[in-house]
Amino acid sequence: MIIAGIDIGNASTETALARYVDGKPAFLSSGIVDTTGMKGTRQNIHGVFASLKQALEKAELAVEDVDLIRINEAAPVIGDVAMETITETIITESTMIGHNPSTPGGLGIGVGVTVDIREVNNCDKGASVIVIIPREVDFEASSRIINHAVSNGIFVNGAIVQRDDGVLINNRLDKKIPIVDEVSLIDKVPINMRAAIEVAAPGSVVEQLSNPYGIATVFDLNSEETKQVVPVSRALIGNRSAVIIKTPAGDVKERKIPAGQIIIQGTNKKAQVNVDDGAEKIMEAIRSVAPVEDIKGEAGTNAGGMLEKVRQVMSNLTDQLPSAIKIQDLLAVDTFVPQTVKGGMANEFSMENAVGIAAMVKADKLQMSMIAHELEAELGVKVEVGGVEADMAIRGALTTPGSDRPLAIIDMGAGSTDAAIINKAGEIKSIHLAGAGNMVTLLIASELGYEDMGLAEDIKKYPLAKVESLFHIRHEDGTVQFFDKPLDPRTFARVVILTPNGMFPIPGNDSLERIRTVRRDAKTKVFVVNAIRSLERVSPTGNVRDIEFVTLVGGSALDFEIPQLVTDTLSKYSIVAGRANIRGVEGPRNAVATGLVLAYEEGE
Amino acid sequence: MRMDFDAPKPEIKVLHGKNITYQKVVDEVLHGIEEEGIPFSVEEMGEADPVELAFRGAELSHLGVGIGITEKEVVLHYIKLKEDQPIFRIPSYSDETTLRAIGSNAARLVKRMPFKNLDNTELS
């Protein structure tokens, strides 16, 4: 008889097709397609169908030849991710420009009162001014006006320019002044206010204006006012040029948004933890009350909103009341999110603290039997719901050459990280945890400030390189690769993602090192943390060290660096860990589908 | 060929046709280079094809970067490219910003910085 095992995962639907001869399975083919709809919902059927068809085609069989389809009990968990910033910088009254034009003009620091360049000659002799040069005034006119004003005894100590004209103006001045250019929102610069402007030499960064006491020196601030400018100076750190404009009722503040409490209800314990305390404290609390029954956020706070959002999404997907949705696990990760500074003038960012969470809810088991029923009706083939996903995965994983019981697996998917362990006697223990590939994507996107999740997904999946000339790139590891044909000018001098479809330039000015660090940190924060967390929970003694062999399965185990990161960490616990190779041919893919077929043999 | 033993000055070579009526175009391109802070020199040459001019410029430039300007087109060329395949070419009637941007891009080619956008649709 012919059996198809079909595994509906968060990201992909996989099929394993086998023929049973004398009670022994001979595998024929496999199929893999993207999961349609959210896992565990009716929309999955299209994906199941496509995946099955793919496997059948490879084996040159038709649907009618299949005697039995076994689908997974779709580890009744769904993951969702959310992100909330817990600090915010608002600058009111005072304002600043802290962007990084590639070519500011001049050098040094200048202080004066802001004035429109067209009005500068109306200033009193001996006045110290900073001229504002809007788009309408070109560099030739502005340099002429400045030279004229200076010869009339007006101290022009700096210039703020809308166009990319800084160097051109500077080259035409008799007396050099610091010039900040490419200030897009120049009409927001207040006129007749005291301002300080600083341009650092090439290769250096501003020193005076990124130092609160430096600002205090320039503006004669008292200690209380100095405290208030700290967010401004912080936002200016690392820039080559900076402007601060001080208005009389100057008030700059960093506001802390009350993040709220998370309440974790365990089977017999309860814990409360403040989101402000950071991810570590939250994870500690979750560990202390495990097993978790439900997690709630304090109403009316960001934490509450974040968890309720997850609950709402889940309730919509599963057609259950929000109150019936129980969050069973949560992975909290500390992160930084670039947020536009409110009150800035050139879209300055400030890195704000944020906490990202991945939550996992237990879904309804009925959903899978509903899918099984519909499939059966549509295909005319008997469909049954097989065993628990993790149990199946471990059966599949055991087909990896060189593996044997006892064995632990970590199934790193898109929505959840699952672990299971099988002992010598064949007893299986499993666990599902929140946080996997999707969480990594979210962290990458938010830390680098991308709206585009597709870009973050590509950064997660593929290595980076820097295009160093029209003919060569330098890979992350420093190796150089040359090309016969000139590369696309759009990629020139940029960091690119090496996708199978060619190079894709990353917008923005983030360096390769920074993007790489963000990527690897995100993977570590999610997968390495979850690997330890999950093994702790399935280990018979509660100690990770008592597990000897671990194989990694699931889509994220295909990643070019996640398995190494996990293997490396686990080796510190003297665990032999590595990527599985299902049936010796599938790599880390198809474990559950294969397990579903094998479980039939054991009569489960 | 210079006969003294000084190393030639590294500069971007801008070539344009003789008796030009489009000094404004040339100026804007030069401003683009100047803003990026790279030395340049300008010469006129009796040659009508902008790509040819640009390539000649690249050959003459110690940096291997040349710009050819005619009444019709502004072309940016690099010595290591095939003669008939310049990096950028834009019409001479382009607006000031674009003309300046192609000058900036010549300098950025030298500085190894991402190019400015010449058609306002791609990466900035």
Query: Is the CB of B79 inside 8 Å of chain A's CB atoms?
Result: no
Q: In angstroms, how far is CA A151 from the centroid of its own chain?
A: 55
Q: Tell me whether residues B108 and A493 touch, CB distance under 8 A.
A: yes
Residue A171 main-chain phi, psi, to 5 deg: -65, -20
In this predicted structure, the answer to whether residue A363 has a pLDDT above a threshold of 70 is: no
Q: What residue of B is the nearest CA neighbor of A135? A: B97
Helices marked H in A380-466: 389-397, 437-448, 453-461
Q: What residue of A is the nearest CA neighbor of B88? A: A489
In this predicted structure, the answer to whether residue A185 has a pLDDT above a threshold of 70 is: yes
Task: Compute the average pLDDT of residues A164-175.
Answer: 91
Query: Is the CB of A102 inside 8 Å of chain B's CB atoms?
Result: yes
The ipTM is 0.84
pLDDT at A94: 64
Burial class of residue A152 in the structure, from the number of CB atoms within 10 Å of its CB (0-12 exposed, 13-18 middle, 19+ buried): exposed
In this predicted structure, the answer to whether residue A442 has a pLDDT above a threshold of 70 is: yes
Query: Is the CB of A364 inside 8 Å of chain B's CB atoms?
Result: no
pLDDT digits (tens, 9 = 90+) for A75-133: 556 666 777 776 666 665 567 777 778 888 888 999 999 999 999 888 888 899 999 99
pLDDT at A111: 93
DSSP reduced 3-state for B110 = helix
How far apart CA A597 and CA A16 sit, in angstroms, is 7
pLDDT digits (tens, 9 = 90+) for A457-493: 999 999 999 999 999 999 999 999 999 999 999 999 9
Answer for the pair A182, A97: CB distance below 8 angstroms, yes or no.
Answer: no
B112 contacts in chain A (CB < 8 Å):
468-469, 492-493
In this predicted structure, the answer to whether residue A197 has a pLDDT above a threshold of 70 is: yes
Query: Is the CB of A167 inside 8 Å of chain B's CB atoms?
Result: yes
pLDDT digits (tens, 9 = 90+) for A555-568: 888 899 999 999 99
Answer for the pair B67, B29: CB distance below 8 angstroms, yes or no.
Answer: yes
In this predicted structure, the answer to whether residue A447 has a pLDDT above a threshold of 80 is: yes
CB pairs under 8 A between A and B: 53
pLDDT at B103: 94
DSSP reduced 3-state for A540 = coil
Answer for the pair B81, B12: CB distance below 8 angstroms, yes or no.
Answer: no
Per-residue confidence at A343, pLDDT binned at 50, 70, 90? Answer: low
pLDDT digits (tens, 9 = 90+) for A397-430: 999 998 888 899 998 888 888 889 998 888 888 8
Please indicate whether residue A404 or residue A320 has the higher confidence score (pLDDT): A404
What pTM was computed for the model? 0.83
HSE-up of residue A242 (Cα within 13 Å, Cβ side): 27
The overall average pLDDT reported for chain A is 86
Whose tokens are 């979850």? That residue is A530
Per-residue confidence at B29, pLDDT binned at 50, 70, 90? Answer: very high
Task: Compute the average pLDDT of residues A212-227.
Answer: 87
Query: Is the CB of A505 inside 8 Å of chain B's CB atoms?
Result: yes
Structure token digits, residue B72: 């019709």
Burial class of residue B79 in the structure, from the number of CB atoms within 10 Å of its CB (0-12 exposed, 13-18 middle, 19+ buried): middle
Asked if residue A406 has a cis previous peptide bond (ω within 30° of 0), the answer is: yes
CB within 8 Å of chain B, chain A residues 452-481 = 468-471
Residue type for position A182: E
Among the partner-chain residues B31, B87, B123, the one whose CB lies closest to the CB of A168 is B31
In this predicted structure, the answer to whether residue A342 has a pLDDT above a threshold of 90 is: no
Query: Which of B24, B29, B35 is best to mutate for the A interface (most A CBs within 10 A)?
Result: B35
pLDDT at B123: 37
Q: Which residues pair with A541 in a beta bridge?
A: none
Q: Tell me whether residues B87 and A471 touch, CB distance under 8 A.
A: no
Answer for the pair A537, A431: CB distance below 8 angstroms, yes or no.
Answer: yes
Per-residue confidence at A257, pLDDT binned at 50, 70, 90? Answer: low
Query: Is the CB of B36 inside 8 Å of chain A's CB atoms?
Result: yes
How far apart CA A532 and CA A547 sit, in angstroms, is 11
pLDDT at B102: 94
Among the partner-chain residues A102, A139, A490, the one whose CB lies closest to the CB of B122 is A490
